[in-house]
Amino acid sequence: MNINSSVLLSKYIKAYTLKMVSKAKASHIGGGLSISDILAVLYNNILYFDSQKPLLDNRDRFILSKGHCCAALYATLALKNFFTMRDLNSFAQFGSNFMSHASHKVKGVEFSTGSLGHGLPYAVGKAVAAKSRNKKWEVFVLLSDGELNEGSNWEATLFASHHNLNNLTIIVDYNKLQSLTTVEKTIKIEPLKDKFEAFGCYVSEVNGHDHEELKNSLSKTNKKNSPKVIIAHTVKGKGVSFMENRIEWHYKSPDEDQLKMALNEIGVML
């Protein structure tokens, strides 16, 4: 599929994510929808890649640390022609490489994730590799807000800042909901911007559904001599009114009627 508008791409990502999760009766549609705009901007406007050469040496590296939201990543990669849209039908099926946590066995997926707190250290390792080889490619890693409870992220941030890894961009999908309740009621992470700044990062806060804000903040020209952190304020379940900000859509999958209603709201019928 050839889609050159990030806004249109994001609609298709949401639609296919909904369809995949519904068919597989899988979880995590809420988080999938909250990162769809970020993925659309990254893959449409920011990352350098060749979908026919997924291991191209000078590609930018993207790591989805919140691996439970992989359906949205698989949909994005299919829409960008890493594989066919039909391949998505095997999502979470027996024997499929498209398992319901991010799998490196899928073309275009750099790293398997699923347990939180693993993506950022790995991304830092890649950023160190690029620096030590004087490579120009960059590393982008997408974390969840609840994931910041994991101490490994803060170990990695300390290291990245100490070594001035300005080829590393950390994006936080700040949808404010965790597994059981809000981030605020689980483990407070505010003041988040101050925390990352205190760790030595260059931090910006954006509306994670505003494509222009995302493009500006993610732009490779917008950098300092330190790792970049983008706190993307998002809505869990974005785009589907009965899913937005509802904790249960961390787990539930839409039935056929709910899928139709959701696709209708997104404005893409598959």
Partner 1 sequence: MRNYFIDLLTKEAKSNNKIMLMVGDLGFSVVENFKEKYPKQFINAGVAEQNMTGMAAGLASEKFHVFTYSIANFNTFRCSEQIRNDIDYHNYNVTVVSVGGGLSYGALGYSHHAIQDYALMRSFPNMTIYAPGTRSEIANCMKQIFKSKSPAYLRLGKTLPKNLKKPNQPHDHAPGKWTKILECKNRESRKCILTTGAVIDDAVKMQKKEEFSNYHIYSLPIWGMKYKTLQAQQINKWDEIVTLEDHLEDGGFGSYILECNSSIQKVGETKIKLKSLNKNVCNTVGDQDNLKEHFKFAH
In the complex, least distance from residue 107 CB atom to partner 1, rounded to whole angstroms: 15
Residues 6+ apart with CB under 8 A from 176: 145, 182, 183, 184, 236, 245
| Amino acid at position 169, single letter | T
Residues 6+ apart with CB under 8 A from 183: 145, 146, 174, 176, 177, 189
In the complex, least distance from residue 163 CB atom to partner 1, rounded to whole angstroms: 9
Tell me if the bond preceding 191 is cis, omega within 30° of 0. yes
Strands of 30-148, DSSP E: 61-64, 139-144
In the complex, least distance from residue 196 CB atom to partner 1, rounded to whole angstroms: 16
Task: Catalog residues that contact partner 1 under the rule CB under 8 A.
Answer: 104, 110-115, 117-118, 120-130, 132-133, 151-152, 155-156, 158-159
Which of residues 110 and 138 has its CB atom nearest to partner 1 in the complex?
110
Cα–Cα distance for residue pair 98/224, rounded to 1 Å: 37
Cα–Cα distance for residue pair 117/198, rounded to 1 Å: 20
In the complex, least distance from residue 155 CB atom to partner 1, rounded to whole angstroms: 4
User: Which three-class secondary structure state does DSSP give residue 78?
Assistant: helix
Which of residues 76 and 161 has its CB atom nearest to partner 1 in the complex?
161
Cα–Cα distance for residue pair 73/43, rounded to 1 Å: 10
User: Which three-class secondary structure state does DSSP give residue 19?
Assistant: helix
Which of residues 68 and 118 has its CB atom nearest to partner 1 in the complex?
118
Which of residues 59 and 233 has its CB atom nearest to partner 1 in the complex?
59
At 17, phi and psi to the nearest 5?
Answer: -60, -45
In the complex, least distance from residue 58 CB atom to partner 1, rounded to whole angstroms: 12
In the complex, least distance from residue 150 CB atom to partner 1, rounded to whole angstroms: 9
User: How buried is 8 (Cβ within 10 angstroms: 0-12 exposed, 13-18 middle, 19+ buried)?
Assistant: middle
